[in-house]
Chain A
Amino acid sequence: MTFATLTSATISRAVGRRWTLIIGSILLGLLILVALVPGFFTSYDPLAFDYKAIMQPPSAAHPFGTDNFGRDVLTRVIWATRIDIQIAVFSTVFPLVFGTIVGTLTGYYGGWLDAIFGRLVDLVITFPFLVIVIAIVAVLGPGLVNMYIAVSAIGWVFYAQLVRAEIRVQKQSDYAAAARVLGYSEMRLIFRHLLPNSITPAIVYWMTDMALAILLGSSLGYLGLGAQPPTAEWGVIIADGKNFMSTAWWMSVFPGIAIVVAGVTFSMVGDGLADLFRRRR
């Protein structure tokens, strides 16, 4: 018995780690719920102007205050949740799927395919991600769909890297050798056996990526290159409020908090999953 195992037996961190996953999942569920039925959580109309209630500080009637058009900020933030969660999902699903497939194939077959892939990875990580995305979006024109295209075009590389590394390890394992000895076809071996065991780092990264996607999406929204007004998106709302920061700070501060909460939620789920997978090994 080593010193290390003795020490971890003493500090029962197992409980602490599971809490991260539990709390993260609850928050995530809440976020999804708000995204699906925002009307349930607020009764104001996000688009209605109300000139009688311009730039009011937070109060019981308007917990997040009102903006320069009299719109209830809390309502706008709640309705924007749908857009930002959409951004998180649509920016990451294609990279996840495409990247996993490419990573699996290059990891398994190696050879010239892998060599090309290696060069590609070098290229991609050389460039600042944000700069490329901004450039592509600027060229295609502002808008959410173009943003998804821009992000997906580059983002799949990271997933591919993760899966490739894992496949190469799993290829050497005993169960892979056993499957080959049993005469299983390569496709079956790759997709039914190796892939499920190799995908866990990609899933964990997916969570972080979704948090990053929200950051990116809101940054582009802020710059005017992402979601277009009057669509309520957290970054757009912050941009709307940036000129009033001294007089009506609540316009920008609260949507920012929403971004942080969403980011922390995804990170917690990611951390929790990472620990779960690590313990299962």
Chain B
Amino acid sequence: MSLNYVVVRLAQIVPTFFLIMVVIFVLVRLLPGDPTSAVLGIHATDEAVERINAELGLDRSIPVQFGLFFEHFLRGDLGDSIILKVPVMRLILERLPVTLFLTGFAALLAVILAVPMALVSAIRRDSLLDNTIRAGFQVGLSMPVFYIGIVLLTFLAAKLRWFPVGGFGQTFTDDIYHLFLPALTLALSLSAVLMRNLRSSLIDVLDAEYVDFARAKGLRNRLVLGRHVLRNALISTVALFGLNIGTLFGGAVITESVFAIPGIGRLLIDSIYGRDYPVIQGLTLVLAVLVSLVFLVTDLVQAALDPRVSHR
């Protein structure tokens, strides 16, 4: 995979990202009601509204506003939270690591769950074991994240006391302990999607002629599985993983609610209830950046695994 390819892919993100900024800007401006009046409430006298508007630059023309918005963004200034009166960027930076930890942990658990199950399922295709595994994952897929969350919370945390009931820890190992249940909750539905796709890829690859050719060379089964089968099958699953990152973040929002975790998901919901527009705007932007980055990474991983992609 060449450096050229990486640079090209990075460059491709820029226009999409610019478009995202425009869309967010427009959407927030389209919101019904005037945010300033909403915040000031009964104190919304005309002079007060005018003063705040001037402060926030809301009285200038739209293109100028966008220019300001863009410029501020590049400087890392996302405005201030109306409710909490602190810079949005600071709020986000405080909470982002928690959510990233949660989603990363969940992704890891999902892979740990999905890969062995997919292997067993594909190798023993159509057996009772295969059908049981698939049925099990299907049920997991059909459960809403919040349901899995409260069930796990009630039975493993509240009743059996194996895990703490929400919150966030102090040290690293403490964090893992606190976040295990939430991460597991998120991981269950993601692993179902991954497993289904990986199983299908594995079945295709297991039937491929190059697997027979590898066996005809006298290679050990484990080597054939690891080097020839799994690597090829993972290619399409990695792409799927990237596509599902959005669902993972969405699920994180709900999970953080259920387990009372101080991440950006909770921040989003709270700011929505409180009509805290700068926070909503800043959060959506940051999420968009994150998701684009994840796409880029999965693309690069795919290119690394599959030489046919980058040699165009």
The reply, when asked whether chain A contacts chain B directly with Cβ atoms under 8 A, is yes
Interface on A for B, CB 8 Å cutoff?
4, 11, 13, 119, 122-123, 125-131, 134-135, 138-140, 211, 215, 218-219, 222-223, 235, 238, 242, 245-246, 249, 252-253, 256, 259-260, 262-264, 267
Known: A235-B144, A245-B158, A264-B138. A134 touches B246 (CB 8 A): no
Evaluate contact between A245 and B153: CB separation under 8 angstroms: yes
Known: A126-B246, A238-B150. A219 touches B145 (CB 8 A): yes
Most chain B CB neighbours (cut-off 10 Å) among A127, A218, A246, A256 = A127
9 closest A-B pairs (Cβ-Cβ)? Answer: A130-B250, A263-B142, A138-B272, A128-B246, A245-B154, A128-B250, A256-B147, A128-B249, A260-B142
Known: A130-B251, A131-B253. A246 touches B147 (CB 8 A): no
Q: Which residues of B contact A263 (CB under 8 A)?
A: 141-143
From the candidates A4, A126, A139, A218, name the one contacting B288 in the complex (CB within 8 A): A126
Evaluate contact between B251 and A259: CB separation under 8 angstroms: no
Q: Which residues of B contact A245 (CB under 8 A)?
A: 150, 153-154, 158
Q: Which residues of A contact B269 (CB under 8 A)?
A: 134, 223
Whether, in the assembled complex, B257 has its beta carbon less than 8 Å from a beta carbon of chain A, the answer is yes
CA distance A28 to B306 in the complex (A): 42
B147's closest neighbor in chain A, by CB?
Answer: A256
Q: Which residues of B contact A11 (CB under 8 A)?
A: 126
Main secondary structure of the interface of B (DSSP, over half): helix
CA distance A130 to B269 in the complex (A): 12
Whether, in the assembled complex, B14 has its beta carbon less than 8 Å from a beta carbon of chain A, the answer is no
Q: Which residues of B contact A235 (CB under 8 A)?
A: 144, 146
Known: A11-B126, A123-B23, A246-B159. A139 touches B147 (CB 8 A): no
Evaluate contact between B142 and A259: CB separation under 8 angstroms: yes
Q: Which residues of B contact A262 (CB under 8 A)?
A: 142
CA distance A8 to B254 in the complex (A): 44
Q: Which residues of A contact B19 (CB under 8 A)?
A: 119, 123
CA distance A38 to B45 in the complex (A): 53
Residues of B123-177 whose CB lies within 8 A of A: 126, 138-139, 141-147, 150-151, 153-154, 158-159
From the candidates B31, B144, B253, B272, name the one contacting A218 in the complex (CB within 8 A): B144
Whether, in the assembled complex, B295 has its beta carbon less than 8 Å from a beta carbon of chain A, the answer is yes
CA distance A218 to B254 in the complex (A): 12
12 A-B contacts (beta carbon < 8 Å): A119-B19, A123-B20, A123-B23, A127-B284, A127-B291, A135-B284, A138-B273, A252-B147, A256-B143, A256-B147, A259-B144, A260-B139
